[in-house]
Structure 1
Amino acid sequence: MNLRKVSAAAATVLALSLTATACGSDDGDGGDSGDGGDGKKITIGIKYDQPGLGLKTPDGYTGFDVDVATYVAKELGYDAKDITWKETPSADREEALKRGDVDFIAATYSITDERKEKVDFAGPYLLAHQDLLIRSDDNIAKGADINGKKLCSVAGSTSAQNIKNDIAPKAQLRERGTYSECLDGLASGAVDALTTDDSILAGYASQNEYKGKFKLAGLNLSNENYGIGVKKGDTEMLDKINKALEKMVEDKSWDKAVTDNFGPADYKNEPAPKIGDIVK
């Protein structure tokens, strides 16, 4: 961000003004949409515990969702330093947008009819499929095979709902706050499988500490169209994000983000979806 040149007198006035308003400094809330050149900020909701998608590390934030959100923010006029990242658990995403805690959410946010009643979605920007992560010495050939087994997923996720309603109603579902908690249970033997999108599972399976311990079952249990959530009725933001996503695909930045984040896991991703093309 370039600092404006000001006269000595103007600088003094500016300093006094900043001192008087210091108590109103950045509190982590999202800023207005703008060019990022006047001290404006943008707050983006992501996941903090999903390797390959949204992961908080000592050095910052990494993952495909982070790369997509950063690209979109740049197209909206914000540099990377203007972004405030905010963790948004699956069960709190709709309320976070409604409260205005975030300007938009890019957090493995599957587009569903139920969610579209509460928020608007740009995209989709990735098509994933629900699958199972199991221990490397286990085998599950079809979804019904998890009936009677202890299955973990995250509260509020479409994966948990799919299991309950359609795939294996007799599975002993354990809902946790984060996928990391489910992964710990799978490693310890407390649960038999972790279910969520294959993109998320591939990220976990590729981590150094888990290589060789887990594997994907290889079941396409559902189609998950990832969208960017915005506050209901914010058509201006929606249109701007859709245009940014289209540009990201056109200039090949989307392909680079896929390779950078999913390449180590040898994830077989679907081609970039077209805006508004929801695969049922």
Structure 2
Amino acid sequence: MVEVRGRRIAAALLAAATVLGAGTACGIADAGEGSVADKDTLVIGVNGDQPGLGERKGGTFEGFDIDIAKEIARRLGVTGANVTFKQVTSATREKMIQDGDVDLVVASYSVTPERKVKVSFAGPYYVAHQDILVRESDAGKIRSIDDLKGRRLCRVPGSVSFPRVHDEQGVAAVPVEADGYAGCLTELTGGRLDAVSTDDLILAGLAAKASGNGPPLTIVNAPFTDEPYGVGLRKGDADGCEAVNKAITQMYQDGTAPRLLDKWFRPAGLKVTTTVPQFEGCV
């Protein structure tokens, strides 16, 4: 009887040790990933082909998203050489966050339910609106999303823009593939497509870049969606999300965000919103 009881006690102790060990190992793994709120260095994913938002020029990046990313990093206590930018695309953003290639993504990254399954979002830091960019000579023919039926519309892999028109709105536009929005601009000015539909901030940057080169372009000014631009970060990093939200709030309160919006988009004639957006909530 004593021997049986001894074996039971030993088994119970072994089971407890196994559970404790597993819990400790999980704790170490979680701690190893870390929160962006506690990092001394940050790698931030940004676009490289969106004039006015995130554009690579030589070895540097410039644009509204780049300035927003620098401000967020500074308010998290990370500055100068401790901030590194890495180019992402619409198709690679989630995987680069999940794989730890980047700590944050600030790249005209619309918050969607599908994306929230894979990553967490702080913000949004701005709410853009989907609109349409056309050649000025076609402005009389394309006045709304419905006029895109049967017309050649740019489609960028990983972007929500074409699906917003074709799938959600049910407009039978004809897809023309491009690697990014710089490619869309080339196709539009070259006459190989009829329109580019995406966020108005992106369109304003594209129109400004094309100014004086090729046929004049114009934004239709017929917005048909809201696109909340979030800051992507590792799924479950609630502390990091809250810290980034605090930084965004401060940027609107002290006038930094309105100043940056004015700097990058007022010259293109785009009317921007300068009040702090309603946050999605950190989950």
Give TM class, smaller chain: 0.7 to 0.9
Paired residues, what number? 246
Contact 1:146-1:168 within 8 A present in 2 as well:
no
Comparing 150-159 and 205-214, the one that deviates more: 205-214
Contact 1:43-1:102 within 8 A present in 2 as well:
yes
Could you tell me which amino acid in structure 2 is paired with residue 251 of structure 1? D
Contact 2:156-2:177 within 8 A present in 1 as well:
yes
Aligned mates of 1:209, 1:35 — CA distance in 2: 46
* Aligned counterpart, 2:88: 88
Q: 1:175 aligns with which of 174, 177, 184?
A: 177
Could you tell me which amino acid in structure 2 is paired with residue 238 of structure 1? C
Contact 1:132-1:196 within 8 A present in 2 as well:
yes
1:211/1:273 CA distance change after superposition, 3 Å: farther
Partner of 2:277: helix, strand, or coil? coil
Runs of 4+ that moved beyond 6 A: none
Aligned mates of 2:110, 2:166 — CA distance in 1: 17
Contact 1:126-1:226 within 8 A present in 2 as well:
yes
Deviation at 1:46, TM superposition (A): 0.5
Deviation at 1:50, TM superposition (A): 0.9
Deviation at 1:262, TM superposition (A): 1.0
* Aligned counterpart, 1:107: 107
Contact 2:156-2:180 within 8 A present in 1 as well:
yes
Deviation at 1:33, TM superposition (A): 4.4
Q: Deviations over 1:195-242 (max 9, x none)?
A: 110110001111244486110011112110111011101111111101
Could you tell me which amino acid in structure 2 is paired with residue 99 of structure 1? D
Comparing 157-166 and 211-220, the one that deviates more: 211-220
* Aligned counterpart, 1:68: 68
Aligned mates of 1:58, 1:180 — CA distance in 2: 16
Task: Name the structure with the higher helix share.
Answer: 2
* Aligned counterpart, 1:142: 144
Could you tell me which amino acid in structure 2 is paired with residue 276 of structure 1? F
Aligned mates of 2:212, 2:46 — CA distance in 1: 24
Sequence identity of aligned pairs in percent?
37
* TM, length-normalised to structure 2: 0.81
Partner of 1:164: helix, strand, or coil? helix
Comparing 189-198 and 164-173, the one that deviates more: 164-173
* Aligned counterpart, 2:245: 242
Deviation at 1:56, TM superposition (A): 1.3
Q: Deviations over 1:102-161 (max 9, x none)?
A: 000000000111111111110011111101110010021221111111100311111121
Aligned mates of 1:127, 1:97 — CA distance in 2: 22
Partner of 2:109: helix, strand, or coil? coil
Contact 1:143-1:168 within 8 A present in 2 as well:
no
* TM, length-normalised to structure 1: 0.82
In the alignment, structure 1 segments of 5+ residues that lack a partner are 1-29
